[in-house]
Structure formats: C-alpha cells, structure tokens
Amino acid sequence: MIAATTSYSSLDPERVPAVVETLLYEFLDEQTRNATDLPEITLFTTLLRDMIAAGGKRIRPVLCVLGWQAVSDRPPSPALWRVAASLELFHLFALIHDDIMDASETRRGKPTAHRCLAARHPERDDADTLGINAAILLGDLALGWSYELLCPTDPCHADGHLGRAWPLLNTLRTETLVGQYLDLVNAGPAFPALPDPRTARRVIRYKTAKYTCERPLQLGAHLAGADPTLLAALSAYALPLGEAFQLRDDLLGVYGAPERTGKSVLDDFREGKHTVLAATAFQRATPAQARVLHDGLGNQALTSTQASEMRQVLTDTGARATVENLISERYEQALAALHHAPLRPAAVTVLRTMATAVVTRTS
C-alpha cells in the first residue's frame, strides 16, 4: 500500500507515474471490493482503470513530488503520495467532463468515456444521450473519490501538513472549474465576438498554468513545510511554464500528428477554441483570410480540406511563428526564475529538464 512507496527519494520524475498508478489501481480495486451491493461500480472502476492504462504524462503528480523534493531532502511522505494520486484522479474527472463539453470522440487514441458508455447500449435510440449522462456521473464519482483518496476517514480532521494544504487543494479545484468555464464561454463561432489574445491568455492562466504546474508544485512544497518565499519561487517558475505548456498544446491540436497526440487535428477548429493562435491570426488576417477562419471556427461540419486552409492561414499570418516565440519567451522566463531560487540544486536541474520536455513535446 502507500507505506510501501515511501522509500522513493531520488530526483527521478520518471518513477513517479508508476507509483501513482499503483496507488490509483489499489484504490479502485478497494472501491470495487467494498461495493458488494453495487455491482454497477465495477463498470465505473473499469472505465477509470482503462483511462489510466491509456497513458498520459502524469505531469501534475510528477510536479507535486518535485515540489516536495525542491525544498526537502526527506523521502516523500504517505500524505504526499495521496495528494499526488488524488490530483490524477481529479484530472480524470476533468477529462471526462471536458470531453463531453467538447463533444470529443477520442482521448489518448481511445474512445472517450461518454462514447464507451453509449456503445454499451446500441439497441437504444437514446444511446448517445445515455452515454453523456452516464459519463457525467462517472466524472462526478472520480471527483468525489479524489477527496476520499486524500482522507479515507474524515477530511475535516486531516492531520499535519495535509490539513494545512487543504485550502490550497480547494483553490486548485475552484480555479480549474472557473478556467473551464472561461474556456466554454470563449469558444464557438468567431463572430460577433472575435477571439481576443488577452482573454485567451487568461483562460490559459486558470485552466492550465495554475492547475497543471503552479498548484501541484506548491502543494508538494507545502506538504514538505515550505514557507511563502519558497512557494513564490515555485510560482515564478510554474506559471510561465504552464502557459508554454498550453501554447504548445494549442499548436499540437492544429499541427500535431494524431497518432502521437491521440486526437484529431479537426477538434480544436470544430470546437471553436478561441486560442492565442486563433486570436493572433484574426488580428493579422486579410479579409479573405478572416473569412476562411470565420467559416471554419466552430463549424461542426468542418472538412479536412477546410482545416488545411485554416492551418495555412495560421501559418501565413505569422500566428504560428508568434506562438512559437511566445513559448520560447515563457520557457526562458521559467528558467530565469530558477537562477536564484532558494531551492535544492538537484531539484533545479530536474525542473530545468522538465521545462525543456514541456516546450519540445510532440504529444
């Protein structure tokens, strides 16, 4: 169980996913065993296990553990591992609901949860609606279980640093859901509201930068007893890195290889994502180029040919190059924040390596 994992102390982020996945599988197995009067739980735990097995970067648990190791030379505590695993379970909730909101068919190269659940009832005329409704429940369950994984008994009496970290965990959840709302209201057909770069960057700040990088790092450090100066140093690194992460994601969503990203290059266009990439292109487009973008953004019937024309506009307007430059700028900001940060030198080396991996990734 959790106690068996606490011997992990080296600064090797590649080992974190396996530990976290083991904890998640054990937790889901326990939920299945305990629900003897609810055989339907097996369906839900199986779907969550399948999502975990499908892969993923596990960047939030990794950064949570690195946050601890950046400020402490002690082995990670059981509480830290619970928080790291809880972050990934919360992420499954966010992915399930995000796929519903975006009407996505695939995730990591596999059918999304709502499509899997719909496929279980081909005989029903309302199979699609059933799949969506059931997936909402699955996401809700993952959210609830992310709390239970943290404190299996009474979260109101969480002891030690875990209790003090509780407000930060709640802040992470609030920021993430507000970020998702901002993403929803800033998506769809471009007119009458053109994509705005400042608004797009605000979406990035709350939906990705804080949720993916800043808060996980701070949580790990907080659990290790970090003071406000250390937390601020981690934030100075994490926020620009999180923005670079999302900007790279936006480029991969349009230009990436589906066999590597696990998603179609049509999705972001069809969903009408008002990204920095799209906003920059609209600002610089000729009337003819703007018409191509307008006709494609938020068009659920978008064809591959239209998407190719949109990509060409993004390139020709210089929007793609601008976003690449922004990624480089944010990367340099993240590295600069580490220069004089009062963090363990070995952790700084790993954080630099992680920053490079984030901005150069292809999936």
Q: Which domains does the chain have, with CATH numbers?
A: 2-360 (1.10.600.10)
pLDDT digits (tens, 9 = 90+) for 210-250: 999 999 999 999 999 999 999 999 999 999 999 999 999 99
Residue 6 confidence (pLDDT) above 50 = no
**Average pLDDT of span 5-22:** 76
- The string over 88-109, giving b where at least 16 C-beta atoms fall within 10 Å of a residue's C-beta and e elsewhere, is bbbbbbbbbbbbbebebebbee
pLDDT digits (tens, 9 = 90+) for 247-304: 999 999 999 998 888 888 898 999 998 999 999 999 999 999 999 999 999 999 999 9
Confidence (pLDDT) at 153: 65
Residue 162 confidence (pLDDT) above 90 = no
Is-above-0.85 flag for pTM?
yes
Confidence (pLDDT) at 331: 98
Residue 282: how many CA atoms within 13 Å on its side-chain side? Answer: 22
Confidence (pLDDT) at 263: 82
**Cis before residue 195, ω within 30 degrees of 0?**
no
Helices 287-296 and 304-316: angle between axes, nearest 10 degrees? 140
Residue 152 confidence (pLDDT) above 80 = no
Residue type present at position 194:
L
